[in-house]
A and B are shown apart, each in its own frame.
Chain A
Amino acid sequence: MSLKSFIVTRALLTIPTVFLLVTIVFLIVRVLPGDPALLHFGKQVNPTALAEVRHSLGLDVPIYVQYYNYIIGLFHGNLGIAFSNEEPVTPQVLSAFPATLELSIGSMIVAVLVGVVLGVRSSRRYGSLEDKIIRTFGAVVYSIPVFFLGLIFIGVFAVAFHILPSGGRYSLLIPIGGTFFGVHIQTGLYTIDSLLAGNLGEFVDAVRHLILPCTALGLYISAVFLRITRSNMLEALGQEYVTAARARGLKERTVLYSYGLRNGLLPVLTIMGLEFAGLLAGAILTETTFAWNGIGTYIVTAVTDRDYIAIQGAVVFFGILVAVVSLVVDILYAYLDPRIRY
């Protein structure tokens, strides 16, 4: 199979995956007990008003009609109207996304750095005390729930020593980006926006707020990278071409990174794609712990409000995102390792 055929096949397979995801999410949120229309009412419920709300929310039609309407809306980029505040879900999700993206990128950087560096060291010192300590470290950080690790970090670095903020994404005023050639650019990524504004103080503030949540979430995920890197490095370092490289008198550093790590990192690439989905689950807990208003917090709020459409919207958005990331990673993998296509 050529690379082009592989990409087409893989892309087509993404469609039923997303469709299945949308259907499952749609059905699950509707088997939950309780009437979301009642959440519109504070203390008193007027039956006529209740009927109007049901109608405006599209709840007064059979479930298959609701499903049809939803699918049609999706094709138009419309994730529906949130029950809780009667506003479109799409802009809500998009406004929450930069926070989660920034958290995810930061966490992934921590995870890859810690995981790969420790994985390489562990494999290099196979069987030694250092190897055992690193493996223990991996087991410990993976077994500690993210929110608990987050609470410990807050307790140590924010409450006890006042080194870093306890939560949120900024201290005082939100970075608003910058204007270039008459065009205002605001990404919602505060590190980027503060740089666009040319405000180094804001940038440092944004980074300070990123450190604890990204470290908590990143350490958790780093355990996976650590193990994968270690096992693949061990396998790579045992290959004949590594022995041959050493026999030719190449420096150990060159053998390790050019021969061992380059081959050992390929599976890590795949794991990065998979762990992106894991970041969502982790983000829900991390965002709540660190008062980080991203999609994780959005989902928690939507679940509390029994807001079917908001839950659907956020999960479908992330589902599509994960599917696309997986697709890109698979294609990248196929590009880097031609054997994958056969």
Chain B
Amino acid sequence: MSTTSKKNTKYVAAAVLIVIILAGIGYYFYQSSTVPPAQTMTTAMTTLTSAPQYKDTIVLGTTDAVQTTIDPADAYDYFGINMIDNLGAPLVDFAPGTNNTGPSGLQPALATNWSESSDGLTYTFILRSGLKYDDGTPFNSTDVKFSVERGMALNDPNGAFSGLGVSAIIGSITTPNATAVVFHLNAPFSGFLSMMTFAIMYPVNPNKVSQVTCNPCNDMTGIVNFTANNAAASNPNGLGPYTLTTWTRSGTKDTEMVLTANPNYWNYPAYPKTQTIIIKFYPDATSLAAAIRSGDVDLAYRQFTTTDIKSLMTTPGLKVYSSPGAFIQYLVINENRAPFNDINVRQGIAAAINRTDLIDTVFAGTATPLYSQIPVGMAYHTDAFETAYGVGPDYTLARELLAKSGYNANNKLAVDLWYETTGHYPQSPDQALVLKKDLEASGVITVTLNGVDWATMHTNVRAGSMGTWIYGWYPDFIDPYDYTTPFLSSTGASWLNDGYNSTAMDSLLTQSLSATPSQAASIYTQIQTLQAHDVPMVPLYQGGSNCCGAVAKTSVGGVYLDVTLIFRLSTIYETTETT
């Protein structure tokens, strides 16, 4: 071998060795995340300054995407609704980070005052005067009337207006003058003001949408959809803290959104805190976690795995925000199928549920145990299941209840437990495994697991072919109505197809619609107690970092995660050193 070739061989060998060593070191750091990212230095410098400045731009990463549109008349997906929350504005709103989601927790937004008639049938809102949309179009009360009537007329069968039955709730809308709008309801509806905070009720810019002449309409041609290379035409909102200046898609995936401060926002210049928000979209939790670790994004919101959350919690320079949000998961028990039509069986399962193990094992302790269908933090919540069955698991109680129906160690209750496997809910397979383990620990229950994709899950629910299954719920609006009637009403809960039909429950739900706040407390307590007794479903947990958490550089502030599940971009800022 010549001298040159020997030298080359050494170079190649050395190069291969260096690559292997670098890979090993890097992978070690990647897994353990013990290397302080560069943003730690930024934070350290920031703490030395007495008057921090806010950066002009924040880059936000997410695995979410707009499913179809950000038109309030059609959007019914989490991220689409959230974008409307940031690009539009409601008449009334809950304060960021609020724990009070009852009527007294509402604060002015587009409306400065509002009142309810004594019979609960009329709501009057007085609007701010002189407001404009982001394109300069003047805003007045006719826009509110136009927007809501448009949504009701289009009444997209897949949209929120149809899903919530808004047309059945609102009878008519009148506008006595340019700053007054009056909603006349068909019947008293105690959740009306909460419903007005929901993004679908946000006014749209009449210059951005076509006039709707049909009612009801047979197609959705009036909906504002994504238009390539034209963010303004894709966004019919315009009263919010931000305006949409860029929206690009590749295939069906959003690739970038750029939001810039809207100088016509009613609360400008107090909000937004950051001039420009760039939203980058990631395909999965792993790449999102890598992006926040590497500093590619300043802030990451939804969704992470538990492994990532655990690791990010200990990563210097980053802060994990857990959400007490109103996302809940629960175990549905199908009363249409034996043996689940037996109340002893349902109560026995409820007693054997171990929420603590579920949350610690699957969600690294970031979620909140749920003992009612109405989540913690929402008005009228009571821990009805804890009252009935304890913190759980109470295996003695479970065995006693199941023994009444002849189940024991020699004749175990066979439970078929179904869950989705396509990531629609956070870590469903892991949840199912923990539930199986803990139910079987009772010694009188045996569980068969069945994982199916989301589409099959839907099909099975309609077919009524499953005994029990793990399901979840993102709120439409923050009111106990949205957590009771859709689940417990004999008609409103038909989508669940779980066979629950209780005259007493239907009566309570009807009463809840016209209840005053003081009456509502008693009625909703009765509803939750009755649910814990009948057990058509067992609440499991709410919130958590996996579903609704955020991770940000420690230099980022103003991150509010509350029960509303609205991710408010207008409050977020990143401090920088004083110049």
Residues of A that sit less than 8 Å from B by CB: 33-36, 38-46, 48-49, 52-53, 82, 84-87, 91-93, 95-96, 99, 121, 125, 128-130, 133-134, 137, 151-162, 165-174, 287-291, 293-295, 297-298, 300-302, 304, 306, 310, 314
Closest to B487 in A: A43
Chain A hits for B59, CB < 8 A: 172
Q: Are A158 and B294 in contact (CB under 8 A)?
A: yes
Q: Are A166 and B296 in contact (CB under 8 A)?
A: yes
Partner of B296, one of A48, A85, A128, A167: A167
Closest to A129 in B: B9
What CA separation (Å) do A208 and B277 show in the bound complex? 23
What CA separation (Å) do A69 and B251 show in the bound complex? 23
Is B207 among interface residues, defined by CB-CB distance under 8 A?
no
Known contacts A156-B27, A160-B30, A297-B251, A52 near B9 by CB under 8 Å: no
Chain B hits for A46, CB < 8 A: 157, 162
Closest to A144 in B: B23
Q: Are B258 and A173 in contact (CB under 8 A)?
A: yes
10 further A-B contacts with Cβ under 8 Å, apart from A291-B288, A294-B250, A301-B251, are A43-B495, A85-B68, A96-B250, A153-B26, A156-B22, A159-B293, A167-B290, A291-B283, A291-B287, A293-B283
Is B459 among interface residues, defined by CB-CB distance under 8 A?
yes
CB A306 to nearest CB in B, in angstroms, measures 4
Q: Which of B405-413, B449-457, B562-570 contacts A (4 or more CB under 8 A)?
A: B449-457
Partner of B251, one of A40, A96, A174: A96
Partner of B23, one of A43, A99, A156, A289: A156
Partner of B157, one of A35, A49, A171, A314: A49
What CA separation (Å) do A301 and B27 show in the bound complex? 28
Q: Are A130 and B12 in contact (CB under 8 A)?
A: yes
Is B118 among interface residues, defined by CB-CB distance under 8 A?
no
**Prevailing SS type, chain A contact patch:** helix
What CA separation (Å) do A85 and B163 show in the bound complex? 18
Chain B hits for A35, CB < 8 A: 455, 458-459, 462
Closest to A124 in B: B5
What CA separation (Å) do A337 and B416 show in the bound complex? 64
Q: Are B251 and A93 in contact (CB under 8 A)?
A: yes
Chain A hits for B296, CB < 8 A: 158, 165-168, 171
Is B422 among interface residues, defined by CB-CB distance under 8 A?
yes
What CA separation (Å) do A86 and B256 show in the bound complex? 21
What CA separation (Å) do A48 and B16 show in the bound complex? 64
Q: Are B250 and A99 in contact (CB under 8 A)?
A: yes
What CA separation (Å) do A337 and B411 show in the bound complex? 77
Chain B hits for A295, CB < 8 A: 251
Chain A hits for B486, CB < 8 A: 43-44
Q: Are A160 and B35 in contact (CB under 8 A)?
A: yes
What CA separation (Å) do A295 and B283 show in the bound complex? 13
Is B526 among interface residues, defined by CB-CB distance under 8 A?
no
Closest to A56 in B: B219
Q: Are A302 and B252 in contact (CB under 8 A)?
A: yes
Q: Are A156 and B26 in contact (CB under 8 A)?
A: yes
Rank and list the top 4 A-B pairs by shortest CB-CB distance, nearest first: A156-B26, A155-B30, A34-B455, A49-B157
Closest to B282 in A: A291
Q: Are A151 and B248 in contact (CB under 8 A)?
A: no
Known contacts A156-B30, A290-B287, A297 near B77 by CB under 8 Å: no
Chain A hits for B68, CB < 8 A: 85-86
